Amino acid sequence: MTALYEKEDARKWLQALTSKRLDEDDSQSEKVSKAVKDVIATVRARGDAGLKEIAARFKDPMPRCLQMDSKEAIQAIERLTPEVKSTLEFAAERITKFAEGVMGAIQPVNIQFDQYSAGLDFKPIQRAACYVPGGRYPLPSTALMTALTAKVAGVKEIVIFTPVLKDEIVFAGSLAGVSAFYEIGGAQAVAAAAFGTETIKAVDIVVGPGNAYVTEAKRQLQGVVGIDMLAGPSEIAVIADGGANIEWVCLDLLSQAEHDPDARAYLFTDDKVLAESVLKRLPELQLSLKLPDFVSESLSLSVILLLESIDECIAAANAVAPEHLLLEVKEPQSLKAKLTNYGALFMGYSATVAYGDYCAGPNHTLPTNRAARFSGGLNPLTFLRANSWLDVPSPSTVLASQTADFAHIEGLIAHEAAASARVGK
């Protein structure tokens, strides 16, 4: 049952939330960390044989590779109905257009100084692995969000790892220029992508959400391979005023709660009637929609905060730093400038986070667990490296003397000598 907190109780809940991580569970974290460490060591030491050993241990299907140009991939695409293809193509077009808009705003930097110039170029990585979850809901949307964004960024080779290779994922991959699919999930997929095996070429970055084991593998292997973020269970926070549609608010909360038992849905409002109506309607709507039983677990982790003003709701949202922030208020633009921490923002009574999950254009791979305080969502920049350069065509007296002086302050003798030598000192 979702809890409703008012005024001081609401403030206490916020304080408790911001004083610790939502997923704080040392015993569980240690268990996951140890299991992942063992999986990584097995894959690193034994390659393909290690992957087969792990699959047998967990009673998973044996790992397999599917090339995009293979007969099997072509048949998978042919099995899909024209309606399904059309839906995925519509989403792909919007996701691509948004990513291209981001790329169009990224320009090289060239700064002219007195006797030299310096700049910054943006170069794509060479090879990317996109992890597509395959648990309760295999997600072709994630295949599109990750692989298309990599393609627009200029990544030369893109592969997909997924525990369940559905036909829809193959088609999504074809739209994004994916070269191969690996039907491997869990921490072992991340390890195989990071280190490579006899049949899997190592990648430069692993992106995409996954379960706790996938996330922990990304955490442990960060530095060996690049990652996008450490994504946890889905989150939504809704700021709603008295004009919000109660049914729509409930559906927005439930649409994120149905992702996972650990998903969290928050409502912040200054309207008592709305708060109490949503509290009453949520379980009724859950029942009428015949949502999975685990949604009750998610709702038990969720809360409604009845606060004294919309400004307090804004402060609450900034403290929670949710993955998704939905403004179901009369004038959402007036709130935007005051909101600082969120993965993705949705504005207006007519907006819904579901639009962003599929085909509005912006990416649905977003920071969770308050990570929106310091990071943003997946975008073309995730796949780009900012490479600086320095061009000194002739001796620069000022640069040389100032560099030598600075090196002298730090006591680095060779640095001082290298700079001084450029102007004959």
Task: Using alpha carbons only, give the angle 281, 287, 289 rounded to the nearest 5 degrees.
Answer: 100
**In the chain, pLDDT over 90 holds for what percent of residues?**
92
Please give the CATH number for the structural domain made up of 27-111+125-227. Answer: 3.40.50.1980
The predicted-structure confidence for 343-400, as pLDDT tens digits, reads as follows 999 999 999 999 999 999 999 999 999 999 999 999 999 999 999 999 999 999 999 9
Name the residues annotated as catalytic.
323-324
CA 211 to chain CA centroid, Å, is 13
C-alpha 141/C-alpha 129 separation (Å) is 15
Domain ranges for the chain, please list them. Answer: 3-20+232-362, 27-111+125-227, 395-421
Q: Is 352 helix (H, G, I), strand (E, B) or coil?
A: coil
- Element (DSSP H or E) covering residue 312: helix 310-320
Residue 23, SS3 per DSSP: coil
Under 8 Å between Cβ of 169 and 161: no
Asked if 3-20+232-362 and 27-111+125-227 have one fold, the answer is yes
Between the CA of residue 221 and those of 38, 188, 285, what are the distances in Å? 13, 11, 42
Q: How far apart are CA 177 and CA 239, in angstroms?
A: 39
CATH 3.40.50.300 applies to domain 3-20+232-362 = no
pLDDT in tens, 175-215: 999 999 999 999 999 999 999 999 999 999 999 999 999 99
Contacts for 30-35: CB closer than 8 Å, 24+ residues apart:
32/212, 32/213, 32/216, 33/216, 33/220, 35/187, 35/213
Average pLDDT of span 26-37: 87
Helix (H/G/I), strand (E/B), else coil: 288: helix
What's the helix, strand, coil split of the chain in %, to 5?
50, 15, 35
What token pair was written down for 121?
Answer: 């170029």
Which DSSP letter does residue 63 get? Answer: P
